[in-house]
Amino acid sequence: MAILVTGGTGYIGSHTCVELLNAGYEIIVCDNFSNSKPEVINQIKQITGRDFLFYEADILDRCALEQLFADNPIDAVVHFAGLKAVGESVAKPLLYYHNNVAGSLVLFQTMAQFGVKRLVFSSSATVYGDPASVPITEDFPLASTNPYGQTKLVIENILRDLYVSDQSWSIALLRYFNPIGAHKSGLIGEDPNGIPNNLMPYITRVAAGQLEVLNIFGNDYPTLDGTGVRDYIHVIDLSLGHIKALQKIMPSNGVFTYNLGTGQGYSVLQVISAFEQATGQKLNWRMAPRRSGDISECYANPGKAQRELGWKATRDLNQMCTDSWEFTRKNIT
């Protein structure tokens, strides 16, 4: 069974490629390296001892996608490709709508053209906006507070409409919470180009001396210590959720929506404390104003994924911090 993985050299994509290969799937990876590095391809092969096809292409490039589908018998697609920084999306909304929404449309049209109607979509907890309460279940109202989240919500709506029009499709919408951590080998992890937008790679680069200080954006939220609370999930647990989702959609038709989180919220200051305790690294941090588009508290009720997919996050915050630091420590340049 051949699975096309778009954005497969990115952070979540690369770890999911490893787990797909370890589970016995054949994969074809497509990426344009906009927020990843070419060496990830060999690192995935080194971890798994398996080879796979790679296409350097942008999902906005219809001709490249059509050639990829024409050359390969594809059974399903796991779609990660997309820009993902909340702050950047507020500053550059047109870029995000064009890349994420238009690119996804080209992909879905190409899938339909070649009769490939099995899809796992990388969505986000940002589709819940600023929730009225926590923990969040899949039936909560949907309304994002930033353009990044809006692109995910638009794509979800497109996919629901697509299924209404053609019920031979089978689609899993996976709403991620906050992935951190890295593969235990230290070969792959979260290594964004430029200044990180997410908390953990910023923490690890400050700990490594690559950045001077960690900015904590907002200390006046209505939370236990005033800093934002999020549901941090180990990237390996998240990746394994994609295997379970594939197993769900292959024999079924429908649109299936799942939260992938731990069900536990941690504040920014709690994550900093956990990182310092797990690694022995003292962090230099300071308070900064809130960022536009951020919310106070967001964590999952992951019970539906456990009931229907047999999936549950098992790795704790200590392991997330330790694995993140080991990856950075082994790859300091």
Q: State the sign of the Cα–Cα–Cα–Cα dihedral 105, 106, 107, 110.
A: positive
**Is 128 a residue of the active site?**
no
Q: Which of 40, 32, 17 is nearest to 189 (CA)?
A: 40
Q: What is the pLDDT of residue 333?
A: 62
Q: What is the pLDDT of residue 160?
A: 98
Question: Which class for 303: exposed (0-12), middle (13-18), buried (19 or more C-beta within 10 A)?
Answer: middle
Q: Please tell me the distance from the alpha carbon of residue 93 to that of residue 95, in angstroms, as a whole number.
A: 5
What mean pLDDT is reported for the chain? 96
pLDDT in tens, 99-121: 999 999 999 999 999 999 999 99
Q: Which residue has the tokens 């082994």?
A: 330
On whether the CB atoms of residues 224 and 172 are closer than 8 A, the answer is no
The answer to whether residue 194 scores a pLDDT higher than 90 is no
Instruction: Annotate 95-118 with b (16+ C-beta within 10 A) or e (fewer).
Output: ebbebbbebbbbbbebbeebebbb
Which residue of the set 128, 148, 163, 232 is catalytic? 148
Q: Which two tokens stand for residue 237?
A: 């647990």
The answer to whether residue 169 scores a pLDDT higher than 90 is yes
The answer to whether residue 150 scores a pLDDT higher than 80 is yes
The single-letter DSSP state of residue 101 is I
Q: Which stretch of 56-65, 166-175, 247-256, 289-298 has the lowest confidence by average pLDDT?
A: 289-298
Cis, bond preceding 251 (omega within 30 deg of 0): no
Q: Please tell me the distance from the alpha carbon of residue 3 to that of residue 73, in angstroms, as a whole number.
A: 9
- The domains located in the chain, with CATH, are 2-182+232-261 (3.40.50.720)
Mean pLDDT of 9-21: 98
